[in-house]
Amino acid sequence: MTELKNTERELHLFRLRLSVAGGLVFILFACLLSRFIWLQVYKHNDYVAQAEENRISVVPVVPNRGLILDRNGVVLARNYSAYTLEITPSKIDGDLETLIDELATLVDIQPKDRKRFKKLQEESRNLASSPIRVRLSDEEVARFSAQRYRFPGVEIQARLFRQYPLGSVASHVIGYIGRINTREAKEIDAGDDATNYRGTEHIGKEGLEKNYEDKLHGRTGYEEVEVSAGGRPIRTLSRTAATPGDNLILSIDIELQKVVEQAFGDRRGAFIAIEPATGDVLAYVSMPTFDPNLFVEGIDQQSWDLLNNSPDHPLLNRPLSGAYPPGSTYKPFMALAALELGKRKPSDAISDPGYFWFGNHKFRDDKEGGHGMVDMYKSIVQSCDTYYYLLANDLGVDTIHDFMKPFGFGQKTGIDLKYERTGVLPSTAWKAAAYKKPEQKRWYAGETISIGIGQGYNSFTPLQLAHATATLANNGIVMKPHLVREIENGVTRQRTLTVPKESYRIPLKQENIDVIKHAMVGVNKEGTGARAFSKAEYVSAGKTGTAQVIAIKKGEKYDASKISDRHHDHALYTAFAPADNPRIAIALIVENGGFGAASAAPIAKAAMDFYLLGKRPDAKTPVKAAPIPEDELTD
């Protein structure tokens, strides 16, 4: 039996299907139209901006870093342009080591270059490129350029490099720059100046490079560059020029700095020379020194180990961070305190048997048998310990503390370097705060005795000693010591003084200051500094000093021949000249140098001869210690 088709029903189904399909098509076109309207009308401005951003790349223009010059215009830190070979690891498909091996066939890549590159990658703050070789020769640039197509992710870049043309000279002053590490990048990003460091790869790490980073860096500029879909620059649309960093004009006389560094030779120590009237630091020496150029592009491991593991600690900034007992250089200030506080008159004299008994302890003088009758002049000229044992006992530690504090002892001077050490100017309050156990917190009267000769708890930086000496030479007018004398605007060249006026004045009587200065002149004429200054063509004032490194057992006598060189006493010397109108004030220490008269005073003499007279010592020979007879060995 044949089934008849229901034509009417099939036609109805067809029409229904057609309507559904048509409805779906309508809905889809309606969605497409609405999306089109949304994109072209409502989101038009947003997508135009995005398209412009894709078409236009904003490229930072890194500013030229400011120069550093000495007081006479000698360039101490400068910039120069050179080519670097840089790798961006994120763009490398294959093995990185294999790539470097292939690059080594075109350019000279040493093991130290590989180690530095690896270290830079570990410290990298982002996926930016890092140099595998710096300062390429023209021949190397040409060889790589011819094979550039073989090395995607490797580029030659023209970079500005920092250079310190005098190498190790004044390195603790100038410091150095280095590549920004992860920690520094986070600090920059969290700060208010993050935008200004876009494109910057280096930052000041130490010294003035670090302390004046905000002045030296300058202001970053920007270029708007039209790029193709592949990212290739087509043309520059606009440019905002970078503002170069300011230049630093130092107070340092770099020739004086060289003379002093040469005078030290291979000895360790510190030297600071200050112009009393202005606070200008004329020389700032920390020995041994180091070459800051090693750090600019990342120091290699071998060089780092040599510096970091050296027993001489060349990276230690001794004038700023080294703390030493001042020894007998403290005595002129003790004498001035006695005069100002009415505890002594210049003519008051004591009989010195060569020791001072306090309780059951015998405090010895350097001179066996003593100095006989000693007044204030003789106490400074011949450096009589017994005089100052008695004076310290009469004054008391808190009185000594209060008098010495305005001179800057145990206080930060505020010099324009970071990480300045405070030192210790002892007092009963200081000891109570410094120790934990009750018996340690108590100040014992016997502890005051050694304070009078610059020993005991006294611990000052060479910078503090130089600052105090300059203040004394300047009759109590305190000038803040500074290394940067002027800041020169990188655009207008206008200069601004960093320390335009005095900090404060210590209320001292001029007749008392004159007594101390007269005695210090006597030190260099007939006292402990006389041999070093016997042929000087100017009148200078000075004071020698010796500071113990290790304690000597009761009843024993110091014998340098029986102890290690590293345990020998430190040699100190302070001075200013000309005595009637001081142009230079000095403090220096020769570590383990023995007596200040023998080791330190000749270095000061060489510095003064050059600065005041223009006399330069033999460039090949460090200044030797002055031979002094044993019976004159006293500080």
Which residues are known to be catalytic?
328
109 with 100: CB under 8 angstroms?
A: yes
Residue entry with tokens 């060569």 = 354
DSSP H or E segment with residue 285: strand 281-287
CA distance 229 to 227: 7
Residues in the chain, total:
635
CA-based nearest residue to 143, from 101, 98, 107: 107
Phi-psi bin for 357: left (phi > 0), alpha (psi -120 to 50), beta? beta
CA distance 554 to 437: 26
CA distance 275 to 250: 13
Q: Is 352 annotated as a binding residue?
A: yes
DSSP H or E segment with residue 188: helix 182-190
* Strand ranges for 329-427 from DSSP E: 350-352, 355-358, 361-364, 372-374
Q: Is 291 annotated as a binding residue?
A: no
CA distance 630 to 164: 45
281 with 274: CB under 8 angstroms?
A: yes
State the burial class of residue 599 (Cβ atoms within 10 Å of its Cβ: 0-12, 13-18, 19+). buried
Q: Using DSSP, state whether 213 is helix, strand or coil.
A: helix
Q: Is 384 annotated as a binding residue?
A: yes
Reading the block at residue 128, the tokens are: 């930016």
Reading the block at residue 190, the tokens are: 């969290």
Q: Which amino acid is at 88?
A: T
Binding-site residues for Zn(2+) sit at 352, 365, 371, 384
Binding-site residues sit at 352, 365, 371, 384
